[in-house]
Amino acid sequence: MSDDLTFDVSEKVLCFHGPLLYEARIIDREVREAQGTNEAGPYYKVHYQGWKRTWDEWVPETRILKFTDDNLQKQQDLRASLNIKAKEKKAAEKDEAGGASGDKKGRKRPRDDAADKEQEFLVRPEIKLAMPESLKAQLVEDWENVTKNHRLVRVPRDVTVADILARYKESTKDAKGKRAAKDTDLLQEVLDGIQTYFDRSLANLLLYRFERQQYVEIKKKYPKTGLSEVYGAEHLLRLFVQFPSLIAHTNMESEAVGLLKDHLTKILEFMQAKKSELFLAEYDNVNPSYMKQMAANG
């Protein structure tokens, strides 16, 4: 496998995050099969220098450059280009404001959407979720069960992510079993978004290495079933840990972010209250064939 991998563990590199390059270090690596929209090939887990560990992520090799003088110059050139575009945007906004005050139509200068998004991301504060203590303990137990004890969550789960979100929705009705139509629409939009996040991020963000073979088997067995209809509370809780950084990469308005954060907090409280119903008390031991397949896949 090492012949297929360009970068070594602990190697200092430059990695694209949005339109800019950042100093990073390789902390893990692997060759993956094609999964959904992700192509097959080498993937690396990187830690961005000076960033919190919550920003560590798996990226394809195409996003990584060697740490060389030429690439450091490219990093500086990209930053300079972004700064110029940010200044052009600010100047254009001033021109537009001046034109409006003079009763003249202001003209916007060309703008680079990617640069705008990165500029917004750099100043966007990280969202914090209050994780109930019992769920923090659940996360630790989950990690130990899978990574240290080499046991697996039994999937498909009896109560899936889709089921949990549906039960939470039902729990938000008032004593008469009613909810305002406007509130229902907003809530459904939030829940649909969470389910979409889960389906799209499970393979790349929510699985421990020991679970990857199980995931491959699940995809073969249920090729047309959404992952949120197979996995359950254990993996949904892992998504909540990732949500702050995922939300920070979006273009959501502050009001929408506040609404989402409010519902995420309430869903966590709901999961805490229903902990015994939603989470497995015991994880499954794996059979020898699973371990053999894991070894074969490296």
**Cβ atoms within 10 Å of 161's Cβ, excluding its own:** 25
Sheet of 12-17, strand order = 57-60, 41-48, 20-32, 12-17, 64-66
The CA distance from 30 to 210, in Å, is 13
pLDDT value, residue 258: 79
pLDDT digits (tens), the chain, 298 positions: 455 789 999 999 999 876 678 899 999 999 988 766 567 889 999 999 888 888 888 988 888 999 999 889 888 877 776 555 445 545 555 555 555 444 444 444 444 444 454 444 444 545 778 889 999 999 999 999 999 999 999 999 999 999 999 999 999 886 556 655 556 777 888 898 899 889 988 988 899 989 999 999 999 999 999 999 999 999 999 999 888 877 776 656 677 777 788 889 999 999 999 999 999 999 999 998 888 888 777 6
| The pLDDT value given to residue 112 | 47
pLDDT score of 98: 54
Neighbouring CB atoms inside 10 A of 286's CB total: 16
pLDDT value at residue 134? 92
Task: Tally Cβ neighbours within 10 Å of residue 288.
Answer: 7
Q: What is the pLDDT of residue 129?
A: 84
CA atoms within a 13 Å half-sphere pointing along the CA-CB vector of 34: 3
- Could you tell me the two tokens for 250? 């979006």
